[in-house]
Structure 1
Amino acid sequence: MALFDDGYAADPHPALAELREAGPVHRVVSAAGVPFWMVTRWDEARRVLTDPSLSKQQPMDGLPAELRSALTTQMLLRDPPDHTRLRRLVSAGFTARRTQALEPRIAQVAERLLDDLDPAAGTDLIGRYAVPLPLEIIGELLGVPAPDRGLFHTWSTVLIEGDFGPIPEIVAYFRDLLARKRARPADDLLSALLAVADGGDRLSDDELAGMALLLLVAGHETTANLIGNTVHLLCRHPDRRDPDLLPAVVEEVLRTASPAATSTYRVTTRPLTLGDTTIPAGEQVLVSLLAVNRDPARFTDPDVFDPGRDDAGHLAFGHGIHFCLGAPLARLEARIAVGRLFARFPDLALAAPPEKLPWRAGVLMHGPAALPVRLRP
């Protein structure tokens, strides 16, 4: 079967269902020629996401020092006890209060972006709304000056595609920004993280730059996909546009159309047996979130988009110690963005046949690359 080609990006579920039926884990090769093991069933996914014998730390000896430092000082790519320490310190600045306080600002940005759309013309909702909204919010949250935020999307798109070339430039940018925040703190996340202390322990400049790099990508790429996937599904299921259903709709979109197609890589530190397959030590493993969130052993009628289902729940934000720290913010942004969109344009519809929509290629992300819509009949 063809994995990771253009057809797969548009509709990965038939191929993933075939893999899942055949077994819980499979050795596959990415479009870039990188071999890895992909987990496709729910029970085995939960085990992989919590098994301490799988390491997030990968050999990076061949990388330039600046690149290696940026990748090894962020908590996503660390194991305990380093991960435990980093998450504790970062969580002290990335609080629920700080996230919830963003609600009026998210609504304000959404309304401004909607004001800029011409109701009489078609528009690409990804480029004009789903990307700019979380991009502006994460920029403000971090304390990035408005003129610099246009760089973020360019940088993160390149990184998602596997090109680490811009990382030294990004790290240099954040080091300079951190120096300015240290001299003149403000009410933003980077200033808060600079001030965090726990028994004399603080985040180093390398760790702060690595965290900013992580938030740069995770803070808007997945949310843009979540907004795009939600609008796409509500265009195909217009009877589910009830504002009261929106929180449940977002959760069901996360299950059926996870904005992150897979988890990030883990490496086996010893042989790992899943089902009838033993993965040797030193192998890369990732979880297909799209596959496991439609596992019929976990969900009734898993391919049915049903926001009212009794067996709700998903692994779209991961599980265990690496559960996504920004999950509450992503949910909040999606609810506000989609709610304001359909309140303003209740008759919004796709302007192209669903089978003609372009989708993002690659292993990690799942969402439309463009979403042409008609705002009014």
Structure 2
Amino acid sequence: MSEPLIQLPTPGESILETHERILRAGEIVPIELPGGVPACIAVSHRAVSEVLDDKVFGKHPSLCPALRDGTIPADWPLRALTDAEHMLNQDGAEHRRLRQTINKAFTPARVAALEPRIQQIADELIDNFPAGDEIDLIANYTTPLPVRVICELFGVPADEQPKLKNWTLTIVSVTSTGEEAQAAMAAMGGYFAELLQRKRAEPGDDLTSALLAANEENELTDEELISMLWLVIVAGHETTVHLLGNAVVALREYPEQLARAQAENRWADVVEEALRCRSSVVGTLTRYPRTDVTVAGVHIAAGTPTLWHGGVGRDPLRYPDADVFDIDHEHKDQLAFGRGPHFCLGAPLARMESRIALATLFARYPELDLAVDPKDIEYTVQISTVGPVALPVRPGPAA
């Protein structure tokens, strides 16, 4: 008798417990997505590497018959993610056409030039920590920092930024209905259409204006530009928000690692280890095998929705002491940001933001500690990312 599919999420079980069961269940794990939709998730380094092969697995929803023949209902909440015609859901030449435009605007030089501003935002947020012995680090630091950075980068005014955060939460939450997710997607699309018009009328020193300038040669439609803005802005803050929260929890669970990071200025290694051991990405956007395939000894039928797990860095077949947070771990062939043509565009920004945020926080408050037992921390219930909903900490004396 076959084992029942692991439900994602599983009622009555914390999201972390569900993901722990997935990570222990094999290299390729059959799961059930919200709404009873069957899928697979790759867990081991070997399996994820195979799923990331674009010749074998594609991204476009047309490869999934269940999305087209009514097997998956039209009001399925996750259609807001699977059916969107943005860059992450495209393959081959179409993906290259879209990516080359954002590449021309989102250059390494533009990312590197953000470092002083990221440092300034981190300092300002810490300067404005509320008085008292205990604060919520998520609300006061790890959320506003990435949101402000990505929104300023794209020229989104400060008073409009909360709307984007709220829409994002609705779209990625597994508790949202299909109607709520689609409404949030439509509202965000309408906002980005208006932002494009503003930047056409009054270009600025921001990535939206640079994107419009870069597009003069590529002739992307407004719908494609809107999808690109949605993708980069949502992905550009949601994953980093949760990565920072996860990293702070890990550093307090492993105080000797925190002490080494502080003494040796090893913050870049802290970020790499957080990406390996405490990744905020737990279920990437779905891929679909182009034909029937066997991955890590498991048969997957053509068109089956297939995710890969950010916990791939905890694969004991690949890493010694895989569950231990240790900044001396080997980080070569890091898969946290994927591989190949779909390698995460924002990886350099996420790494820089996280390094600055953690170094600044623990430089100002070197004795900062959790105000709750790690087992009592509540985590987000989302399909793609996971991190603390709130993180009560005691900052301690300022340096």
Q: TM-score, normalised on structure 2?
A: 0.87
Distance 2:130 2:81 in 1: 45
Distance 1:251 1:336 in 2: 13
Matches within 5 A, 1:273-352: 273-290=294-311, 292-310=312-330, 312-352=332-372
1:247 aligned counterpart, secondary structure: helix
- Once the two structures are TM-superposed, the CA of residue 275 in structure 1 deviates from its matched residue by 3.2
Distance 1:116 1:216, change over 3 A: same
Distance 2:236 2:81 in 1: 21
1:27 to 27, 30, 39: 30
2:135 aligned counterpart, secondary structure: strand
Aligned to 1:189: 207
Distance 1:12 1:288, change over 3 A: same
1:36 aligned counterpart, secondary structure: strand
- Once the two structures are TM-superposed, the CA of residue 183 in structure 1 deviates from its matched residue by 1.2
Larger displacement relative to structure 2 (47-56 or 91-100): 47-56
Whether 1:80 and 2:87 are equivalent positions in the alignment is no
- Once the two structures are TM-superposed, the CA of residue 30 in structure 1 deviates from its matched residue by 2.6
Matches within 5 A, 1:1-377: 4-5=9-10, 7-12=13-18, 14-20=20-26, 24-59=27-62, 72-118=84-130, 120-162=132-174, 163-197=181-215, 200-241=217-258, 242-243=261-262, 244-290=265-311, 292-310=312-330, 312-376=332-396
Residue by residue, what CA displacement relative to the aligned partner does 1:72-121 show, whole Å, maximum 9, x if unpaired? Answer: 44211101110011111110100111111111111111111111113533
Distance 1:17 1:145 in 2: 41
Larger displacement relative to structure 2 (10-19 or 187-196): 10-19
2:190 aligned counterpart, secondary structure: helix
Distance 2:392 2:243 in 1: 16
Aligned to 2:178: none
Distance 2:57 2:7 in 1: 28
Larger displacement relative to structure 2 (201-210 or 340-349): 201-210
Instruction: Read off the aligned partner of 2:9 and give its amino acid letter.
Output: F
- Once the two structures are TM-superposed, the CA of residue 50 in structure 1 deviates from its matched residue by 1.6
Distance 1:70 1:181, change over 3 A: farther
Distance 1:308 1:346, change over 3 A: same
- Once the two structures are TM-superposed, the CA of residue 70 in structure 1 deviates from its matched residue by 11
Instruction: Read off the aligned partner of 2:238 and give its amino acid letter.
Output: E
Distance 1:81 1:2, change over 3 A: closer
- Once the two structures are TM-superposed, the CA of residue 202 in structure 1 deviates from its matched residue by 2.8
Distance 1:130 1:169, change over 3 A: same
Instruction: Read off the aligned partner of 1:209 and give its amino acid letter.
Output: I
Distance 1:159 1:312, change over 3 A: same
1:221 aligned counterpart, secondary structure: helix
- Is the CA contact 2:146–2:237 (under 8 Å) kept in the aligned structure 1? yes
Instruction: Read off the aligned partner of 2:280 and give its amino acid letter.
Output: P
Distance 1:193 1:185 in 2: 10
Instruction: Read off the aligned partner of 1:195 and give its amino acid letter.
Output: A
Larger displacement relative to structure 2 (351-360 or 235-244): 235-244
Larger displacement relative to structure 2 (342-351 or 72-81): 72-81
1:149 aligned counterpart, secondary structure: helix
Distance 2:9 2:82 in 1: 28
Distance 1:153 1:54 in 2: 31
Residue by residue, what CA displacement relative to the aligned partner does 1:10-39 show, whole Å, maximum 9, x if unpaired? Answer: 34564134212xxx2122113542210111
2:353 aligned counterpart, secondary structure: helix
Q: Give structure 1 stretches of 5+ with no counterpart.
A: none
Distance 2:19 2:321 in 1: 14
- Is the CA contact 1:70–1:171 (under 8 Å) kept in the aligned structure 2? no
- Identity over aligned pairs, percent: 38
Q: TM-score, normalised on structure 1?
A: 0.92
